[in-house]
Chains A and B, each alone.
Chain A
């Protein structure tokens, strides 16, 4: 064969060895990457939040390193790659910032973020965070229980749901220049979910001001639901009678429901939700019903078919 002139002897005789070498290297690379020591970049530089008290419901599981919490983000407003938000949210201005509360409440108003942060004492809440993509973290959030904010707004009997809207500003959020999702990002909760003591309006993590890539200055944290329910950079909170539309279920309603409760029994159509990879761990772990918060929230869904209301 004429080809023999240029065909590698290595590949002729060493193909199997080449595959084995490659496979060995992958295992080594994965091991090395997971065992990598903390680096200088791990030191957070944002200001500490004052007067943060320890809140209830804290898990004592190992907390996900700050660098991972702030460099592995799904925040399509800043790009669809996991590292995009950290790379492109640096110039985003989280102040000045106003949040508008309206709809079925006795006290509709627009409030400055720094004023809002005085409405309730700041608490540290160490929660598990389970992404719909089957990975998870443990994050020490700082925030206010949403229920206490809602109480001050005096919802009327017609307020059955809470509809949240994120910022729409393609100048400041480069990902919004793409039509990957319908902007602005919108999310919603039932009123009883919103006022549940676990539900948090977060303004910080690791005791410090919330980084831009994590949803500064104000984001929602609902620890028993998949991460996409945690809308970021909130500008509007509206109290409504009917179930509001939500971004991901508008995008693919068969894959992402309104409830989005973490449930190992109800698979995403394209992947299993039975297990998850905790960031930093090699082995997958079992996913828990309601992300391990069943004791606190299961009664909210008593009698509901969780396969139907996913």
Chain B
């Protein structure tokens, strides 16, 4: 094993452990009574927070590549994205099964009538195809160009997730606005910095 590979393995383990940590902390707090008087609401809030955090973190490697030319972080993007899905799935599953206890009437009404739930649901739906097609086999099956286009949905998912958070809070917008600001920077870098050079555009035009 080369030095670079062993360093990457260690980093991989570190990112994996970091991804598991918020979930472990929920379990730990449940045991020591640290989830407070309304543990279901607390679990929901924490899972949503981490889904959004990992989702934005999964967008950062691309921005860093564009802005600073760093490519190393791209290797962990898939795992970070999968953790985003992991927490989004748990957030949604907790809402369905624990908060609403599969009261489909109430859940349906929520999704249709409450715009913050509509858009949160949309964010989750957008993440599903990305999680499904996250394997190497799916990249090959779709072809890299199409796969890449599909995975741009992650920006829309992040946008929906941030709006979901903004619309959820009662008065204190500080936290959702921090997420919104970070997403704005990531989007801006992606949109401005990723415009292909004139040569590349010509090459692309020929390829089509």
Contacts and interface: CB of A to CB of B under 8 A. Distances in A.
A270 B167 contact: yes
B89 A33 contact: no
Given A26-B98, A27-B98, A80-B172, A33 B39 contact: yes
Interface in B164-203: 167-168, 170-172
Interface in B65-93: 75-76, 78-79, 82, 86, 89-90, 93
B33 A39 contact: yes
A65 B93 CA distance: 29
Contacts of A271: 110, 114
The binding surface of chain B is classed by DSSP as helix
Contacts of B27: 25, 28-29
A71 B114 CA distance: 29
B101 to A, nearest CB: 6
B169 to A, nearest CB: 8
Given A26-B47, A27-B98, A83 B89 contact: no
B43 A19 contact: no
A26 B93 contact: yes
Contacts of B171: 76, 80, 180-181, 251-252
A283 B89 contact: no
Interface residues of B, number: 53
A28 B8 contact: no
Interface residues of A, number: 54
Interface in A18-46: 18-19, 22-23, 25-30, 32-34, 36, 39
Interface of B: 5, 8-9, 11-12, 16, 23, 26-27, 29-31, 33, 35-43, 47, 75-76, 78-79, 82, 86, 89-90, 93-94, 97-98, 100-101, 106, 109-110, 113-116, 131, 135-136, 139, 167-168, 170-172
> Which 7 A-B pairs rank lowest in CB-CB distance, beginning with the nearest?
A33-B39, A72-B37, A29-B30, A68-B37, A80-B172, A33-B35, A32-B30
